[in-house]
Amino acid sequence: MSSASTTGGVRYVGAVARVDLLPKEVREQAAARQTRRTMLLVIVLAIVVVAAGFAAVQFLVATSAGDLEAANAETRQLTSQQASYQRVRALQAADAEAEAMHRVTTATQIDWDALLAEALAPLPASATVGTVSVDSQSPLAAPNQTQNPFGQAAIGSVQLELSSPDIDDLTNWLATMRADPTFSSVTALQAQNSGDQSWQMSATLYISPSVTALPTPTPSATATNGPAR
């Protein structure tokens, strides 16, 4: 229930009358204490957060240190294992060196049986071979050009004394040899009639440096060509 006052305001009837008798300083001190409690709570929370972060960093550092130690231990183990295989590696290196030396020393090795079989194969059965002599140089020497009148590189030569009743057999064989890439050049003295119805010719076959370890002829080819000469 209320009633209007003479000044036009509203007056509440039955309300409890309250009077604040505290001085202003007391209220300000209470507000300051509340502010300090709030700040203290914020500081405590900040300290907790920093401590938690520091603990997390320390955990990561400890974990990384453990991983590093494990990696170092594995490295030391691998190094120890490699040291135990030093003799094996030394043997492998020695074997590789021996293989390299073998390749150098056999770089110009010639399979004479296969080469002679190739050179004599085009001769007809009526032709005969008088003498055969070969000349080769050291495998470590450069291809010799001094013995080749045409100035082409050669690693060896074969000298043949041939005879045949038909001079065409000798000239055809000479043309075949000159077309064979096995020989860098072929020289021959003019065929002469020996007076016994046969023609004789001396030929020199200069072996090309590209010839190394020619394939060995089959036994049947060797048997066929060998006795016919």
Q: Where are the domains of the chain?
A: 21-84, 112-228
Q: Give Cβ neighbours of residue 128 (< 8 Å, ≥ 6 apart).
A: 162, 163, 164, 229
Long-range contacts of 139-145 (CB under 8 A, 24+ apart): 139/104, 139/105, 139/106, 139/107, 139/108, 139/109, 140/104, 140/105, 143/108, 143/209
Closest CA to 198 of 161, 160, 165: 165
Q: pLDDT per residue over 7-41, tens digit each?
A: 455 555 666 666 666 677 877 888 888 898 899 99
- The pLDDT value given to residue 224: 37
Q: Which two tokens stand for residue 74?
A: 């594995």
Q: Over the stretch 149-190, which tens digit does the pLDDT of each residue have? A: 555 677 788 888 888 888 888 888 888 888 888 888 888 877
Choosing among 3.60.20.40, 3.40.50.970, 3.40.50.150, 3.30.70.2830, the CATH entry for 112-228 is: 3.30.70.2830
pLDDT at 47 over 90: yes
Q: How far apart are CA 184 and CA 16, in angstroms?
A: 136
Residue 94 pLDDT greater than 90, yes or no: no
Q: How far apart are CA 70 and CA 67, in angstroms?
A: 5
Rounded alpha-carbon distances, angstroms, from residue 209 to 103, 149, 161, 214: 15, 16, 24, 12
